[in-house]
Amino acid sequence: MDGYVPSAVEQKWQRLWEARGTNTYTREELENAEDPFYNLMMFPYPSAEGLHVGNIYAFTGADVHGRYQRLRGKTVFEPMGFDAFGIHSENFALKIGTHPMDLIPSNVKNFTRQLRRIGGMFDWEHSVDTTDPSYYKWTQWIFLQFFKAGLAERKEAPVNWCPSCMTVLANEQVIGGECERCATPVEQRRIAQWFFRITDYAQRLLDNLDHIDWSDTTLKAQKNWIGRSTGAQLHFPVVNKDGAETGTKIEVYTTRPDTVFGATYVVLSPEHPLVESVTDARRRPPVYAYVDTASKKDLVARQKTDKTKTGVSTGGFCRNPATGELIPIWVADYVLMDYGTGAIMAVPGHDTRDFEFAEQFDLPILRVVAAAGDNADTPLEEAYVGPGRLVNSGDFTGMDVAESVEAVTDWVSGQGWGDGKINFRLHDWCISRQRYWGPPIPIVHCEACGPVAVPEADLPVVLPRVEDFKPDDSGVSPLARAEEWYRTTCPECSAEARRETDVSDTFLDSGWYFIRYPSSDFDDKPFDSAITKNWLPVNTYIGGNEHAVLHLLYSRFITMVLKDLGHIDFEEPYDVFRAHGLIIADGAKMSKSKGNVIVPDPIIEEFGADTFRTYLMFLGPFGEGGDYRPQGIQGPFGFLHRLWDTSVSAGQGEPDPDVERKVHQTIRQVTDQLPALGYNTAIAAMMECLNVIRSGGRSAVRAEIEPLVVMIAPFAPHMAEELWERFGHEGSVFDGANWPEFDASKVVESMAKVAVQVNGKLRATISVPKDALEADVIATARAEDNVARHIEDKDERRVIHVPGRLVNFVVG
RNA sequence: GCCGGGGUGGUGAAAUCGGUAAACACAGGGGACUUAAAAUCCCCCGGGCUUCGGCCCUUGCGGGUUCAAUUCCCGCCCUCGGCACCA
């Protein structure tokens, strides 16, 4: 008998798959595919280190799903590509002094080699590389569709700026107000940037969450991120020194319009346009100084919540429209310009932030909500935000807060100084990056015509190879130094003009790649409509929850817009999304600094890809991740060896009835668990089954072992192919609906094991016929020595019988 | 602070429409086979007590509901991930 040699089997089948085109499709095959199943996984960023275990874990879990669908007879399209633009590649390239245009291709090559080695069912004929001009040509095309539809606009926005690195920093690169690399204090700068108007779609992005089948945690993350809140927008009239209205009104947004009677001051954000006009002449120096300081702070420090509140009085006043009283106007950086109207009515009695601020600056705190047991004069030790009744609130005094929001809003809008309003936390999507390594934004700036779209026929706007791509003090992209590149003529008036020198965000690259995959061989269009119709939306998308918000939200948004513009006929890109867990080592996230990074190549070398895949799927629930322990791989390794030995030595003949029952039970369980991504328990069930088949050293007949070979195929595809061939089948196990069926009549047990308890404590276990009468089961249970001992001399109060599970005697 | 996971043997974990807690596997121990080793097969493996029949305790902690709670309810603690003054 020949033994299992993983490397030989794996090389053989990887060669055969490639030669036969087992996993690749031609254009005609994609057009005509029957029962198509688009199995998508999040494409990787091809780092210089190569694939890490986390990647392999995610891809294997997704590949298992695709292979299972294929064994069920679906035509499964499972593409793989590379998300290779962006700041990570660029910083790494700068660090090692290699140009990203040289670095990325070699990383991609290495990734491809590793990906082939783990035995994924990837269609390499339909790969994408976001840095390839043939791909980003269409990323630019998408930008143009947004631009033409009025969904892309240029406006000033603050960014983090490190004066030492001379670069724009992302929020996560600012640690404690300092640059993560050089510890220089970070400043804020205002730069004109391109935005996509995702907030126009906020409500739809939220509503659709109700009818897509996604992991619950992901849905919740999206919901929170969109952050819909209902409230009201109120106007507070500004008054002059004599108390007369100036005609200017401060718009505030509040979710608690019912507490307006308790608004004892108003706060403007430092960036608010009314700051200047409401400030009293004598208060200008401190107010301007405060605004100046606030604008210099980096964006992260600006939003820190644990610092003590700062602010400055403007000396100006406005009228609380509910009480008619004059209240002061302050400026404070705890009010953010980007949310609501950039101004708030402060209700210190019932908002913790306002309370804190009022204490700090000795502003009046008024109670307008009383909890049960409190009255209008009960002093407030802290802001009260709970339920209760309105007090000190004019005609509304006495009303329950549960109804008061609506009632006050109605009153306010009747009075004409406000209206109900819905707000979203979601901001417009800033897609500009003042960086080099990304697709140039396809816009030409012309003195006369303003920003003009590059004609689609002129795409792609190729990113030029510039050797000096280091960012500098200008705060604009390194492309702004490539004069021969950016100088051009206006597509509309032919005057001298200048190209946009910002590149776009990588989330734009990854926002539509799944649409490109099946059409990746078309040069003349981003996607073919017939193929797109046949394959999209994606059936199952598997990826990490770290992308629960941004990537998934942006790709939903792009899909929605493409639908509205008539390019596609669906608006949600992924029917099913499942988040996988994180793989950790020694109870901690893998990281170089901890020295617990698992390098996959030597493991595959030693045990083979099939064992590695099976182990990764076995070590914990796929949705939750697990702890990688090097020794644990012995389990699946031994299991696959035993499965091999059992298969190659299997004889002909009738299956043993007990073994056959176990096999059918196993088919049922695995068929149940695989589509639900219950991989670890499915593998355990197969191990258990093999243990029964081999128990006492018995050898199997083929009918007993063959279903197991097919069921292990998603996990150990190479080995399954080899054994399938040795069983005498033609071609690949994955060509055809070869998944085994279980026979319900062969699953049932004739005897049931029943637990016998006395007062809930286990006293015996009995075996009774499955269809035994209740009276007989109870009689058998009562007759057990150890049961009889515990119930004699006692009152029997109740007997509980759960058929097939237990009998419980309640005595006392 | 808020949102979302999660806390079960020496270890990774299973079992959550309430019904025998610890399946499967790793590590460990014992045995069979072998000249030997590997492989394979069999047995033990949460803690304590035991007259070897069993008994008691045990799913982060404290309460509760129930004949019965890892599972449901209330109040805590710890931990991981995400968000962070969102008015």
Instruction: Report the range of poorest mean pLDDT among A266-275, A319-328, A741-750.
Output: A741-750
| Nearest nucleotide, CA A615 to C1' | B25
- Say whether the CB atom of A333 is under 7 angstroms from strand B: yes
3-state secondary structure A629-662: CHHHHHHHHHHHHHHHHHHHCCECCCCCHHHHHH
Confidence of residue A345 (pLDDT cuts 50, 70, 90): very high
Q: State which amino acid sits at residue A310.
A: T
| Nearest nucleotide, CA A785 to C1' | B53
Name the average pLDDT for chain A: 90
Chain A residues 252-311 within 7 Å (CB) of strand B: 253-256, 269, 302-307, 309
A680's CB contacts (< 8 A; 6+ apart) are: A617, A618, A619, A620, A621, A622, A626
Distance A102 CA to B69 C1' (A): 61
Q: How many CB atoms lie within 10 A of CB A124?
A: 15
Strands A245-254 and A178-179: unpaired
- Say whether the CB atom of A217 is under 7 angstroms from strand B: yes
A380-401 per-position pLDDT tens digit: 888 888 888 899 999 999 998 8
Using CA of residue A599, residue A604, residue A606, residue A607, what is the dihedral sign?
Answer: positive
Q: What is the pLDDT of residue A161?
A: 76
Decide: residue A19, CB within 10 A, 0-12 exposed, 13-18 middle, 19+ buried: exposed
Distance A497 CA to B72 C1' (A): 70
Residue nearest to nucleotide B14 (CA to C1'): A681
Helix (H, G, I), strand (E, B) or coil at A487: strand
Check: CB of residue A186 under 8 Å from CB of residue A162: yes
For chain A, percent of residues with pLDDT exceeding 70: 96
Q: How many CB atoms lie within 10 A of CB A789?
A: 11
Q: Is the pLDDT of residue A1 over 60?
A: no
A556-581 per-position pLDDT tens digit: 999 999 999 999 999 999 999 999 98
Strands A75-77 and A36-41: parallel
Two tokens at A64?
């298992």
ipTM above 0.90, yes or no: yes
Peptide bond into A657 cis (omega under 30): no
Instruction: Report the range of poorest mean pLDDT among A174-183, A371-380, A467-476, A690-699.
Output: A174-183
Chain A residues 653-682 within 7 Å (CB) of strand B: 678, 680-681
Find the mean pLDDT for residues A762-773. 88
Chain A residues 742-761 within 7 Å (CB) of strand B: 753, 755, 757, 759-761
Beta strands in A68-200 (DSSP E): 75-77, 152-162, 167-169, 174-175, 178-179, 187-196
State the Cα–Cα distance between residues A804 and A783, nearest whole angstrom. Answer: 18
List bases, strand B, within 7 Å of protein CB.
Answer: 3-6, 11-15, 19-21, 23-27, 39-42, 53-57, 67-69, 80-87
- Say whether the CB atom of A629 is under 7 angstroms from strand B: yes
Q: What is the pLDDT of residue A164?
A: 74
Q: What is the pLDDT of residue A303?
A: 62
| Nearest nucleotide, CA A254 to C1' | B87
Domains in chain A, please, with CATH? 1-131+581-747 (1.10.730.10), 152-196 (no CATH), 228-424 (3.90.740.10), 751-811 (3.10.20.590)
Find the mean pLDDT for residues A316-321. 94
- Give the closest residue to A331 by CA, choosing from A396, A253, A250, A261: A250
For chain A, percent of residues with pLDDT exceeding 90: 64
A122-163 per-position pLDDT tens digit: 999 999 999 999 999 999 999 999 999 999 999 888 777 777
State the Cα–Cα distance between residues A681 and A741, nearest whole angstrom. Answer: 19
Q: What is the pLDDT of residue A435?
A: 87
Higher pLDDT, A181 or A677: A677
Q: State which amino acid sits at residue A661.
A: R
- Say whether the CB atom of A770 is under 7 angstroms from strand B: no
Find the mean pLDDT for residues A261-270. 94
Find the mean pLDDT for residues A580-604. 80
Distance A652 CA to B71 C1' (A): 46
Find the mean pLDDT for residues A295-319. 78
Distance A725 CA to B12 C1' (A): 34
A641-675 per-position pLDDT tens digit: 999 999 998 888 888 988 999 999 999 999 999 99
Q: Is the pLDDT of residue A176 over 70?
A: no
Check: CB of residue A727 under 8 Å from CB of residue A702: yes
- Give the closest residue to A574 by CA, choosing from A42, A31, A142, A201: A42
Residue ranges in A699-753 assigned as alpha helix (H): 702-712, 717-726
Confidence of residue A547 (pLDDT cuts 50, 70, 90): confident
Residue ranges in A337-379 assigned as alpha helix (H): 352-361
State the Cα–Cα distance between residues A103 and A99, nearest whole angstrom. Answer: 6
Two tokens at A691?
């243990």
Q: Is the pLDDT of residue A599 over 70?
A: yes
Distance A694 CA to B23 C1' (A): 18
Confidence of residue A294 (pLDDT cuts 50, 70, 90): confident
| Nearest nucleotide, CA A425 to C1' | B86
Task: Label residues A583-621 b or e (16+ Cβ within 10 Å = b).
Answer: bbbeeeebeeeeeeebebeebbeebbbbbbbbbbbbbbe
Distance A99 CA to B19 C1' (A): 65
State the Cα–Cα distance between residues A687 and A666, nearest whole angstrom. Answer: 10
Q: Is the pLDDT of residue A586 over 80?
A: no
Q: What is the pLDDT of residue A627?
A: 85
- Say whether the CB atom of A639 is under 7 angstroms from strand B: yes
Give me the half-sphere count of Cα atoms (radius 13 Å) on the Cβ side of residue A626. Answer: 18
State the Cα–Cα distance between residues A86 and A470, nearest whole angstrom. Answer: 14
Q: Is the pLDDT of residue A589 over 90?
A: no
Chain A residues 773-802 within 7 Å (CB) of strand B: 785-786, 790, 798, 800, 802
Q: State which amino acid sits at residue A655.
A: P
| Nearest nucleotide, CA A303 to C1' | B85
A266's CB contacts (< 8 A; 6+ apart) are: A236, A250, A252, A318, A327, A328, A329, A330, A343, A344, A345, A346
**C-alpha angle A120/A124/A128, rounded to 5°?**
110
Instruction: Report the range of poorest mean pLDDT among A178-187, A397-406, A789-798.
Output: A178-187
Distance A458 CA to B18 C1' (A): 67
